[in-house]
Chain A
Amino acid sequence: MFSWKESGRIVSLLFVSSLILIPLSATILGGFKTTGEMRVSPFGLPREWITEVYAEILTDPNFWRYLWNSLIISILTVALTLVLGSMAAYAFAQAKFFGADFLYSYLLLGLMFPFAAAILPLFLTVRDLGILDTPWGVVLPQVAFGLAFSIMFFRTFFAQMPDELFEAARVDGCGYIRFFFLFTLPLSTPILATIATFVFVQSWNNYLLPLIMLNDRDGYTWTLGAMDYRGEYSWEWNRTLAFVSATLAPAVVFFLAAQKYIVAGLTGGAVKG
Chain B
Amino acid sequence: MAEVILNQIRKTFGAVEVIPDLSLIIPNGSFTVLVGPSGCGKSTLLRMIAGLEKTSAGQVIIDRDDVTDAEPDKRGIAMVFQSYALYPHMTVRQNIGFALRLARRPKSEIRQRVDEAADILQLGALLDRKPRELSGGQRQRVAIGRAIVRKPKVFLFDEPLSNLDAALRTQMRVELAELHAKLDATMIYVTHDQVEAMTMADQIVIMKSGVIQQVGQPMELYNRPENPFVAGFIGSPKMNLLEGKLAADQNAKIVGVRPEHISISQDCGDWHGKVRHAEHLGSDTVAYIDADSIGPVTVRLQGEVPMKAGTPIWMTPVRGNVHLFRADGSVERV
**Are A and B co-members of a single complex?**
yes
A residues neighboring B (CB under 8 Å): 162, 164-165, 167-174, 178, 183, 186-187, 271-273
Q: Which of B73, B78, B85, B132 has the most CB of A within 10 A?
A: B85
Residues on the B chain within 8 Å of A173, using CB: 73, 99, 102-103
CB-based contact A162/B83 at 8 Å = yes
CB-based contact A171/B50 at 8 Å = yes
CB-based contact A171/B73 at 8 Å = yes
Give the complex CA separation of A169 and B79 in angstroms: 10
Residues on the B chain within 8 Å of A169, using CB: 87, 98
Residues on the B chain within 8 Å of A271, using CB: 88
Residues on the B chain within 8 Å of A164, using CB: 81-83, 85
CB-based contact B84/A171 at 8 Å = no
* B interface bracket (residues with beta carbon within 8 Å of A): 20 to 34
Chain B min CB distance to A181 (Å): 12
Give the complex CA separation of A162 and B85 in angstroms: 8
Let me know if B287 is at the binding interface, CB within 8 A: no
Give the complex CA separation of A172 and B104 in angstroms: 12
The answer, among B87, B99, B132, B150, for a CB contact under 8 Å with A165, is: B87
Residues on the A chain within 8 Å of B81, using CB: 164, 167-168
- Contact A167:B87 (CB < 8 A) given known A172-B99, A174-B102: no
CB-based contact A187/B88 at 8 Å = yes
CB-based contact A186/B89 at 8 Å = yes
Residues on the A chain within 8 Å of B146, using CB: 168, 172
Residues on the A chain within 8 Å of B79, using CB: 167-168, 171
Q: Could you show 8 A-B contacts with beta carbons less than 8 Å apart?
A: A167-B79, A167-B81, A168-B85, A168-B87, A170-B71, A171-B73, A172-B102, A187-B88
Residues on the A chain within 8 Å of B51, using CB: 171
Residues on the A chain within 8 Å of B87, using CB: 165, 168-169, 183
Residues on the A chain within 8 Å of B83, using CB: 162, 164, 273
Main secondary structure of the interface of B (DSSP, over half): loop
Residues on the B chain within 8 Å of A178, using CB: 102
Give the complex CA separation of A271 and B78 in angstroms: 24
Given pairs A162-B83, A162-B85, 14 additional interface contacts (CB within 8 A) = A164-B81, A168-B85, A171-B72, A171-B73, A171-B99, A172-B98, A172-B102, A172-B150, A173-B99, A173-B102, A173-B103, A174-B73, A183-B89, A186-B89
Give the complex CA separation of A271 and B87 in angstroms: 10
Give the complex CA separation of A116 and B114 in angstroms: 59
Digitize B136-155: 1 where CB-to-A-CB distance is under 8 Å, 0 elsewhere.
00000000001000100000
Chain B min CB distance to A167 (Å): 5
Give the complex CA separation of A187 and B85 in angstroms: 14
B83-112: which residues lie under 8 A (CB-CB) from chain A?
Answer: 83-89, 98-99, 102-103
Let me know if B77 is at the binding interface, CB within 8 A: yes
CB-based contact A170/B88 at 8 Å = no
Residues on the A chain within 8 Å of B52, using CB: 167, 170-171
Residue of B nearest to A183 (CB): B87
The answer, among A167, A172, A273, for a CB contact under 8 Å with B84, is: A273
Chain A min CB distance to B76 (Å): 11
Residue of A nearest to B103 (CB): A173
Residues on the A chain within 8 Å of B86, using CB: 168, 273
Give the complex CA separation of A174 and B102 in angstroms: 7
Give the complex CA separation of A172 and B80 in angstroms: 11
Q: Which of B50, B79, B87 has the most CB of A within 10 A?
A: B87
Residues on the A chain within 8 Å of B150, using CB: 172
CB-based contact A170/B89 at 8 Å = no
CB-based contact A272/B88 at 8 Å = yes
Give the complex CA separation of A183 and B85 in angstroms: 12
Chain A min CB distance to B149 (Å): 10
Q: Which of B50, B72, B77, B84 has the most CB of A within 10 A?
A: B72
Give the complex CA separation of A192 and B72 in angstroms: 31
Chain A min CB distance to B157 (Å): 12
Give the complex CA separation of A273 and B132 in angstroms: 9
Residues on the A chain within 8 Å of B103, using CB: 173
Give the complex CA separation of A164 and B84 in angstroms: 8
Give the complex CA separation of A271 and B73 in angstroms: 25
Residues on the A chain within 8 Å of B72, using CB: 167, 170-171
